[in-house]
Chain A
């Protein structure tokens, strides 16, 4: 533990205001999401606890607002703050599931393709090119649009279908450059098996760029889930996610009831912006060639 705090990387991290601020924001949002059932004043999934006379109440500091609806309520009488907390749970669940599952699939494929080359490499990389040019949003949207069963599981699946591609490509490139190093030839010379070389020597040395991709993909997955839910092909309507909240609140912006859209939008934006700031920091830390403002 102390070694972590004394390391150079931690020193760089602590010196970088944007990295520290963004991780703080993320930690707060994550805690809010995890403990939502305890913190939230209301359970937005419990239809019996909602009363229509509470609907469309403005935030507490505006005229007509009242406790316990600190950020107001939506047209169903759901407390906005509680719904945001539960919505963040959906976002983080999708984000983490996607980066873990797609990460494992993509890294394995990239490792095998880079190490063995040949037909496997040609086929997977062609496939990756095609998926990449069709864009993850389009594929996920069409997949979910055709598949009529909507739920958090299918949303995660729809994002994974395309998301492994970035891991596989980056991993493959990284493996190709690591493979040429002398220590790999040395390992071969002393008779190490292919599996041992792949998983012990290459994997550990080729993985750093994957951390940047993981951070970027985490943000992308959350953004994609919100977009899909906004379009009505994502998370079902009785389990509000941030994208769904914005989609439902959209009707009311012309009537000046902006709180239905603005608060979930701020929550979503602060998650994704923080993740991207962290990804930027990681990118510079791992590849310090282009250092911030110093060139």
Chain B
């Protein structure tokens, strides 16, 4: 078990190194931030000054090692645009993103698994069919389209919900401002959370239904039925628990796309999160922000995957970690 976790951690570190190297490689060959920084009309001398000040005159590998050294100390450099520490910029935005992601994932898990179970119990019932058609739209509509359709229905037509920003937030520990405890904050959360959660919900729903349909046909379910176990216990204890195993893996793998789609969602709803920051950084060619965002996102993704893998072992004790290899 420990050996497995250590192996996975080492692999994670290797992935992080590769990611950081790719980022740096790309920046080296594409575009010149000096032009962005000094402005288009700067003289040669002004450009050189900026280049030396930012350390952009040094060879690639030295820039890379300087970056790594600083990154390990939590120093990701200054933003080209605002001239403030990048890590601070991102951490300031993270609470908003995390709250949005958690709400979306909760919606996806509860509704996805719940509706998936309903659709699997009586596959021919019209409710099940209706759910399946809905899920088809859920996986087919890109997140930005879901968001805009929700805005058109709930904000433009029905005028029920706000679509701009986070609303009223309260400061809790440190810099963490939360929208969870005010009615206004929650109202602002509804549309973005559903936008971000819809696709994940549809994916989980289809997985749950597929898994349940397979499990419900197993002999042990028939045995349980025959000996008179109440249906509720059969569904939730015998069947769902086994059908959940692929779902756990999948929701870990979905985390990357959750981050990606949160960028889309945050742009649509002007949500002051890290994804919004990333897009602004892309438009402004603010490399330090982009690089740090990628690094932080990678750390998040790798950690979540590790946690999910460990969780997988608890759900399915048959798996021996030392045996895991590509079969």
Q: Which residues in A have some Cβ–Cβ distance to B below 8 Å?
A: 121-122, 125-126, 130, 132-138, 141-143, 145-148, 176, 219, 223-224, 226-227, 230-233, 243, 246-247, 250, 253-254, 256, 258, 261-262, 265, 268-269, 272-273, 275-277, 280, 290, 292-295
Contact = CB atoms under 8 A, between A and B. Distances in A.
Contact of B216 (A219, A226, A231, A295): A295
19 contacts: A122-B326, A133-B252, A133-B301, A137-B261, A145-B282, A146-B31, A148-B285, A176-B327, A226-B142, A227-B264, A231-B263, A232-B283, A250-B268, A253-B151, A261-B148, A261-B152, A265-B148, A290-B214, A293-B124
Interface stretch (B55-63, B175-183, B290-298, B315-323): B290-298
A154 to B, nearest CB: 11
A269 B141 contact: yes
A141 B144 contact: no
Interface stretch (B77-85, B94-102, B132-140): B132-140
A142 B294 contact: yes
A137 B216 CA distance: 35
A224 B279 CA distance: 16
Instruction: Decide if the interface of chain A is mainly helix, strand, loop or mixed.
Output: helix
A114 to B, nearest CB: 10
Interface string B253-294: 111110111011001100000000011001101000010001
A133 B305 contact: yes
A254 B257 CA distance: 29
Nearest to B212: A295
Interface of B: 11, 15, 23, 26-27, 30-31, 123-124, 128-129, 136-137, 139-145, 148-149, 151-152, 156, 210, 213-214, 216-217, 252-257, 259-261, 263-264, 267-268, 278-279, 282-283, 285, 290, 294, 297-298, 301-302, 305, 326-327
Contacts, number: 130
Nearest to B123: A293
B140 A141 contact: no
B279 A231 contact: yes
Contact of B140 (A121, A126, A142, A276): A276
Nearest to A226: B142
A272 B141 contact: yes
B124 A246 contact: no
Nearest to A137: B260
A204 to B, nearest CB: 24
A147 B139 contact: no
Contacts of B140: 219, 223, 269, 272-273, 275-276
B257 A137 contact: yes
A134 B256 contact: yes
Contacts of B124: 293-294
Given A135-B259, A148-B30, A253 B148 contact: yes
A219 B278 CA distance: 26
Nearest to B327: A176
B301 A134 contact: yes
A138 B257 contact: yes
Nearest to B149: A265
Contact of B144 (A125, A230, A253, A256): A230
A113 to B, nearest CB: 9
Contact of A135 (B151, B214, B260, B290): B260
A232 B282 CA distance: 10
A124 to B, nearest CB: 10
